[in-house]
Amino acid sequence: MESYDYDDNLTDELLARSGIDGRAVQRAVVQLLKAVGEDPRRQGLKDTPARIARAYAELLSGYRVDPQALVNDALFEVKYDEMVLVRDIEFYSLCEHHMLPFIGRAHVAYIPNGKVLGLSKIPRVVDMYARRLQVQERMTRQIADFLRDLLKPQGVAVVIEALHLCMSMRGVQKHNARMTTSAMHGAFRANLATRQEFLENIARGAMPLQF
């Protein structure tokens, strides 16, 4: 039985917060490297299992984000009933089917009903759901549902555009294909003019998705 020196000192703050079993991830990576014919003890790979454990702690940190701590009292009573839009929120996620990245931008809008959310919290909500094993369709819906339930607004709209490396690197290998998903609640679903205003706002000056 070949031995491997695991790094049992994966006690940095990131791993501690993540709850990930660093030793178990290392064991799995060592077995994977052996399965593809590599030597996990060679110089270039000997620290790879520990690196991957730390990487997964960051990439999958969304599972253990406390939504209450995330919002952190950043709800404010404001007399404003026009659209609030945060566009071009970059995100990075892992496709749950192949554990390969998908990378894109989220556009998030809501119409307040007496309360607004602190500006920085909307990108944090996107990250909370992106940093999990995901499918884009579910992630889009989760963001919209979370904001609907939190703010009780007149409406919520989310559009996500992403490049999926599981389609670019393997399979059909279509390098320029992009996927767009949307989720709408309230006024954005019921009112064509409101929905059109949102879509025109995110299309205006849109940057091409390049990675």
Active-site residue among 136, 154, 161, 185?
136
- Residue 185 a catalytic site member: no
Q: Distance between CA atoms of 199 and 205, rounded to whole angstroms?
A: 12
pLDDT, tens digit (0-9, with 9 covering 90-100), for 74-118: 999 999 999 999 999 999 999 999 999 999 999 999 999 999 999
Name the burial class of residue 155, with classes exposed (0-12), middle (13-18) and buried (19+) by CB atoms within 10 angstroms of its CB. buried
pLDDT, tens digit (0-9, with 9 covering 90-100), for 111-148: 999 999 999 999 999 999 999 999 999 999 999 999 99
- Per-residue tokens: 98: 């192949």
Write the CA distances from 54 to 12, 57, 59, 129, integer angstroms: 9, 5, 9, 19
- Residue 95 a catalytic site member: yes
Provide CB contacts within 8 A for 41, sequence distance 6+: 4
What pLDDT, on a 0 to 100 scale, did the predictor assign at position 181?
98
Split at pLDDT 50, 70, 90, the class of 194 is very high
- Residue 164 a catalytic site member: yes
What pLDDT, on a 0 to 100 scale, did the predictor assign at position 211?
53
pTM over the 0.85 mark? yes
Active-site residue among 142, 161, 164, 185?
164
**Which span out of 4-13, 64-73, 111-120, 163-172 was modeled with the highest average pLDDT?**
111-120
- Please check whether residues 89 and 176 belong to one and the same domain: yes
Three-class DSSP category at 7: coil
Active-site residue among 31, 97, 175, 196?
97
Mean pLDDT confidence for 62-77: 91
Domain carrying residue 179: 73-203
- Residue 175 a catalytic site member: no
Active-site residue among 31, 96, 137, 175?
96
* pLDDT value at 13 more than 90: no
Residue 64 lies in a domain: no
Average pLDDT, the chain: 89
Supply the CATH number for residue 93's domain.
3.30.1130.10
- Please check whether residues 92 and 124 belong to one and the same domain: yes
- Please check whether residues 25 and 81 belong to one and the same domain: no
- Please check whether residues 113 and 197 belong to one and the same domain: yes
What percentage of residues in the chain have a pLDDT greater than 70? Answer: 85
Supply the CATH number for residue 41's domain.
1.10.286.10
Phi/psi at 109 (5° precision): -135, 155
- Residue 96 a catalytic site member: yes
What pLDDT, on a 0 to 100 scale, did the predictor assign at position 5?
65
What pLDDT, on a 0 to 100 scale, did the predictor assign at position 205?
64
Q: Per DSSP, what are the bridge partners of residue 184?
A: 157
- Residue 210 a catalytic site member: no
What pLDDT, on a 0 to 100 scale, did the predictor assign at position 1?
39
Active-site residue among 95, 134, 142, 154?
95
Q: Distance between CA atoms of 115 and 12, rounded to whole angstroms?
A: 38
Asked if 170 contacts 98 with a C-beta cutoff of 8 angstroms, the reply is yes
Q: Report which of residues 13 and 117 the model is more confident about.
A: 117
* pLDDT value at 208 more than 70: no
Mean pLDDT confidence for 67-79: 91
Active-site residue among 38, 58, 90, 166?
166
pLDDT, tens digit (0-9, with 9 covering 90-100), for 42-54: 999 999 999 999 9
- Please check whether residues 118 and 189 belong to one and the same domain: yes
Residue 211 lies in a domain: no
Mean pLDDT confidence for 160-167: 90
Three-class DSSP category at 32: helix
Asked if 143 contacts 129 with a C-beta cutoff of 8 angstroms, the reply is yes
* 163: enclosing H helix or E strand: strand 155-164
DSSP secondary structure letter of residue 92: E
- Please check whether residues 55 and 78 belong to one and the same domain: no
Provide the domain count of the chain: 2
